[in-house]
Amino acid sequence: MTGIRGEQKERTRRAILDAALSLSDGSALVALSLRQVAKEVGIVPTAFYRHFPSIEDLGMALVEESLDTLRTLLRELRRTAGDDFRSIIDGSVTVLVTQVRQDQAHFGFIARERFAGPPAVREAIARGIELAERELAIDLAHLPGTDQWSEEDLRVLSTLIVGAMVATAERLLTAGSGSDAERKVADTARAQLRMMLIGAMQWRSRPSP
Amino acid sequence: MTGIRGEQKERTRRAILDAALSLSDGSALVALSLRQVAKEVGIVPTAFYRHFPSIEDLGMALVEESLDTLRTLLRELRRTAGDDFRSIIDGSVTVLVTQVRQDQAHFGFIARERFAGPPAVREAIARGIELAERELAIDLAHLPGTDQWSEEDLRVLSTLIVGAMVATAERLLTAGSGSDAERKVADTARAQLRMMLIGAMQWRSRPSP
DNA sequence: AGTTTGGGTGTACGTCTGTACACCCAAACT
DNA sequence: AGTTTGGGTGTACAGACGTACACCCAAACT
């Protein structure tokens, strides 16, 4: 499969994906035309079909790629998790900032298409986020203090945390890299994680505030 | 200004706004064409210009309208707020569900265009949400237990709560009206509000978990 | 009663879109 | 060495797009 020909094809395919990512930034996937992408890549419009049957399929490829980097983020979060609360919180926010910066185009794509994309794309993104929530619920169950928690309570907390992290990622995309705004977003995220975990620790011992 | 003529013009203008709202549902504003809207309304394409200079301006009108219903939601939340935590939480979630259902098209529009819309639209929506955060911070300062809080802490908590409410609204849009899913989303939102407020109450007395 | 105004119409144009088709030629295979 | 394969090219066309222009006619004004 890989020869001079295979390499060249792969390179063009990547160029198409990158062009689509950069062109749809600032707008949406649906506003993308096959001809624009082809012009950006430097190929003739009809050559596009050698790689994708339609723009729709290009979109699905971008979703899968973007969800892949989302899964990388989750893996990285688990891999670097410390023992005490403080290091878990600080480490997680640092990893989040790093990964969002590293794959800004993918996270931006997810943010844009989550609600504005075609149905298949929306569903794929929703499943990706649900997966993150389920995995976090499992991790939370291993924390001290959640021994007696119901599945339901674990789900409630994990969706709360994931939601806050998604909001943080979206704010990071708006803030410039290395800016004061970025530091402020990170500080806010840390404080919010602390608040949520304090609430969680007091949860069953004091169920209603 | 209002005569038979003025009424007719207003009616057509409304029809255009409604058509745009319903046509952009399931996709995005940028995917909307002047001719589609005109056909849906039942007027000839060029007649569109009697009401809006361009599709872009139509979009801005829709944003303003949608942000108006967002402000209505905020006003309603304050108006019905009870005294104790339990009634504040339950009342707020009920109002949220009711209002989102009542103006589903507007909230859906905000969700879609928040990150996928043209820059001016994104900024307008961001300002609307920031406003909600600032107002909530003011309300939170009047709650028992937040007497000694810094401005910063109030901001951190209000953005956390607003973020969770935005996520709840987005989930409501996905869930069918009156469905089991809808009740589950509401239950989750109530539990999350309780968790966050428990965390907040323990905040300064126990700053790090 | 006569004139002006303005929302809606119909035609027309240039541009951009997706895509079908025939073709090219170097890499890959026999 | 001869043949096949497949990514890229160039031309071509029908349809949708935004929009300019001249026109219509009932409501509104004088």
pLDDT tens for each residue of B56-104: 999 999 999 999 999 999 999 999 998 999 999 999 999 999 999 999 9
Q: pLDDT digits over B148-170, tens only?
A: 899 999 999 999 999 999 999 99
CATH number of the domain to which B102 belongs: 1.10.357.10
Answer yes or no: do A173 and A193 share one domain.
Answer: yes
Residue with CA nearest to C18's C1' atom: A34
Residue A129 makes CB contacts below 8 A (sequence gap 6+) with A162, A166
**Strand D positions within 7 A of protein Cβ atoms:** 6-12, 16-22, 27-29
Provide the CA B67 to C1' C8 distance, Å, integer.
31
Cβ–Cβ contacts within 10 Å for residue B139, how many?
16
Cβ–Cβ contacts within 10 Å for residue B3, how many?
8
State the Cα–Cα distance between residues A207 and A199, nearest whole angstrom: 10
Of B26, B30, B155, the CB nearest to A28: B30
**Residue A80 tokens, joined:** 């670097």
Answer yes or no: do A188 and B113 touch at CB < 8 A: no
Answer yes or no: do A118 and A33 share one domain.
Answer: no
Of A86, A112, A167, the CB nearest to B163: A167
Answer yes or no: do A114 and B115 touch at CB < 8 A: yes
CATH number of the domain to which B19 belongs: 1.10.10.60
| pLDDT over 80 at B132, yes or no | yes
Task: Judge residue A33's burial from the number of C-beta atoms within 10 Å of its C-beta, 0-12 exposed, 13-18 middle, 19 or more buried.
Answer: exposed
Confidence of residue B147 (pLDDT cuts 50, 70, 90): confident
Confidence of residue B1 (pLDDT cuts 50, 70, 90): low
Domain span at residue B66? 56-201
* 8-state DSSP, A145: T
Of A155, A163, A174, the CB nearest to B163: A163
Across the A/B interface, how many CB contacts are shorter than 8 Å?
A: 128
Confidence of residue B204 (pLDDT cuts 50, 70, 90): confident
Answer yes or no: do B40 and B131 share one domain.
Answer: no
More confident residue, B39 or B208: B39
- The answer to whether some atom of strand D lies closer than 7 Å to the beta carbon of A45 is yes
Nearest CA in chain B to A32: B31
Query: Which of B36, B110, B149, B160 is the best mutation test for A, with the most CBs of A within 10 A?
Result: B160
Answer yes or no: do B27 and B64 share one domain.
Answer: no
Provide the CA A165 to C1' C19 distance, Å, integer.
43
Query: How many angstroms separate the Cα of A199 from the Cα of each of A83, B68, B147, B192?
Result: 19, 33, 19, 9
Residue with CA nearest to C26's C1' atom: A5
Answer yes or no: do B94 and B195 share one domain.
Answer: yes
Is A6 inside a domain boundary?
yes
Provide the CA B62 to C1' C30 distance, Å, integer.
65
Side chain identity at A52, as an amino acid letter? F
Answer yes or no: do B80 and B44 share one domain.
Answer: no
State the Cα–Cα distance between residues B207 and B209, nearest whole angstrom: 7
Side chain identity at A15, as an amino acid letter? A
Q: Which of B59, B34, B61, B62 is nearest to B48 (CA)?
A: B34
Query: How far B115 CA sits from the closest chain A CA (Å)?
Result: 5
Is A69 inside a domain boundary?
yes
Query: How far A96 CA sits from the closest chain B CA (Å)?
Result: 17
Whose C1' is closest to the CA of B38: which nucleotide?
A: C8
Is B207 inside a domain boundary?
no
Domain count within chain A: 2
**Residue B58 tokens, joined:** 């139509």
Answer yes or no: do B34 and B113 share one domain.
Answer: no
List of A residues 106-125 with CB within 7 A of strand D: none
Answer yes or no: do B85 and B8 share one domain.
Answer: no
Answer yes or no: do A21 and A98 share one domain.
Answer: no
State the Cα–Cα distance between residues B138 and B180, nearest whole angstrom: 34
Cβ–Cβ contacts within 10 Å for residue B164, how many?
23
Provide the CA A16 to C1' C23 distance, Å, integer.
24
Answer yes or no: do B137 and B197 share one domain.
Answer: yes
Please say whether the beta carbons of A125 and A67 come within 8 A. Answer: yes
Q: pLDDT digits over B10-57, tens only?
A: 999 999 999 999 999 989 999 999 999 999 999 999 999 999 999 999
One pLDDT digit (tens) per residue for chain A, 209 residues: 578 899 999 999 999 999 999 999 989 999 999 999 999 999 999 999 999 999 999 999 999 999 999 999 999 999 999 889 999 999 999 999 999 999 999 999 999 999 999 999 999 999 999 999 999 999 999 998 898 899 999 999 999 999 999 999 999 999 999 999 999 999 999 999 999 999 999 997 655 55
Please say whether the beta carbons of A110 and A169 come within 8 A. Answer: no
Answer yes or no: do A192 and B26 touch at CB < 8 A: no
Query: Which chain B residues have a beta carbon less than 8 Å from that of A85?
Result: 208-209
Residue B171 makes CB contacts below 8 A (sequence gap 6+) with B185, B188
Answer yes or no: do A143 and A82 share one domain.
Answer: yes
Answer yes or no: do A153 and A94 share one domain.
Answer: yes
Query: Which chain A residues have a beta carbon less than 8 Å from that of B150?
Result: none
Is A207 inside a domain boundary?
no
Confidence of residue B206 (pLDDT cuts 50, 70, 90): low
Is B154 inside a domain boundary?
yes
Is B87 inside a domain boundary?
yes
The per-residue pLDDT for B50 is 98
Crossing angle for the helix pair B180-201 and B85-102, nearest 10 degrees? Answer: 140
Query: Which chain A residues have a beta carbon less than 8 Å from that of B23?
Result: none
Is A206 inside a domain boundary?
no
**Burial per residue of B65-93, b for 16 or more beta-carbon CB atoms within 10 angstroms, e otherwise:** bbbebbeebbebbeeeeeeebeebbebbb
Nearest CA in chain A to B85: A209
Whose C1' is closest to the CA of A34: which nucleotide?
A: C18
Query: How many angstroms separate the Cα of A173 from the Cα of each of A52, A95, A183, B117?
Result: 29, 15, 13, 15
Answer yes or no: do B28 and A116 touch at CB < 8 A: yes
